Amino acid sequence: MSDPDDHKVIRTTGLTMRFGGVTAVDHVDFALNEGELRCLLGPNGAGKSTFFKCLTGQLTPTEGVVEFRGQPITGWLTHDIVKLGIGIKTQVPNLFNGLSAYENVRLSARRKHLAPMARQKSEEMLVKCGVADLAKREVGLLSHGQRQLVELAMVLAGEPSLVLLDEPAAGMTGDERDRLARLVLELSRNASVIVVEHDMAFIRQIAKQVTVFNRGAIFREAPIDEIMRDRAVQEIYLGKQADVAA
């Protein structure tokens, strides 16, 4: 266990995930400071999602340690990780399709609040995420972008101190993406945030410090402006995802 006074929200040490002969994450040492907003980038297959899933309990790493504020959480189940005050938005929206947007958000708010306050919080979060007009709609019938925003409202209703978002802008219209960017920036004033994302327009709107993955390892860690100018980063993207070089 590392020094609890080192103010790291998340720390991984030697984090490794192998699928048979494929090493998707290879001895990654990563640390997130308290209150930091960090974007994880990298070409397809770089290991970002696998790394993310090792943080959220969706995967149990083959080797290495994950700590949350100095407490080892390696291999914990996702629902126990959520109980620590970690909000998780996975790549595939995790919603109850037969329920309305409001009912989904309320289920999350109820974990934290008694019924009247949960109602108020749910309504607030739906407004904040720009989906109040969808409150009564069944989430199974919404577009992917709308579902992403409803799920974000669910995550926020849990009032997390750390938020982990995997490709939150996927399937969004330009307006939805702009709203999401404002929300993430606002959220990061009171919480630490990790965002895995492909959408460079979105990244440019929110990113500060960035970690670039390549071949399962951390390739670069630097402010976004430096990353955008980095020739070696451009090269690892070329032929895969030319946006970063644009």
Ligand X SMILES: Nc1ncnc2c1ncn2[C@@H]1O[C@H](COP(=O)(O)OP(=O)(O)OP(=O)(O)O)[C@@H](O)[C@H]1O
Binding site for ligand X (CB under 6 A): 19, 22, 24, 42, 44-50, 198, 213
Nearer to ligand X, 18 or 112 (CB): 18
DSSP state of 216: T
Q: Work out how close the CB of 39 gets to ligand X at its nearest, in angstroms, rounded to a whole number.
A: 13
Q: Work out how close the CB of 228 gets to ligand X at its nearest, in angstroms, rounded to a whole number.
A: 18
Nearer to ligand X, 17 or 31 (CB): 17
Backbone angles phi, psi at 237, to 5 degrees: -85, -30
Backbone angles phi, psi at 218, to 5 degrees: -80, 125
Q: Quickly count: other Cβ atoms within 10 Å of residue 103's Cβ.
A: 16
Length of the chain measured in residues = 246
Nearer to ligand X, 76 or 213 (CB): 213
Q: Work out how close the CB of 24 gets to ligand X at its nearest, in angstroms, rounded to a whole number.
A: 3
26 — alpha (psi -120 to 50), left (phi > 0) or beta?
beta
Q: Work out how close the CB of 49 gets to ligand X at its nearest, in angstroms, rounded to a whole number.
A: 3
Q: Work out how close the CB of 52 gets to ligand X at its nearest, in angstroms, rounded to a whole number.
A: 7
Nearer to ligand X, 26 or 230 (CB): 26
Q: Work out how close the CB of 115 gets to ligand X at its nearest, in angstroms, rounded to a whole number.
A: 39
Residue 174 corresponds to which amino acid? G
Which of 155, 150, 69 lies closest to 111 in space, CA to CA? 155
Nearer to ligand X, 102 or 213 (CB): 213
Nearer to ligand X, 25 or 126 (CB): 25
Q: Do 220 and 230 contact (CB within 8 A), yes or no? A: yes
Which of 132, 153, 131 lies closest to 143 in space, CA to CA? 131
Residue 242 structure tokens: 């030319």
* Cα–Cα distance, 212 to 220 (Å, whole number): 5
Q: Do 155 and 88 contact (CB within 8 A), yes or no? A: yes
Q: Do 61 and 53 contact (CB within 8 A), yes or no? A: no
Q: Work out how close the CB of 136 gets to ligand X at its nearest, in angstroms, rounded to a whole number.
A: 34
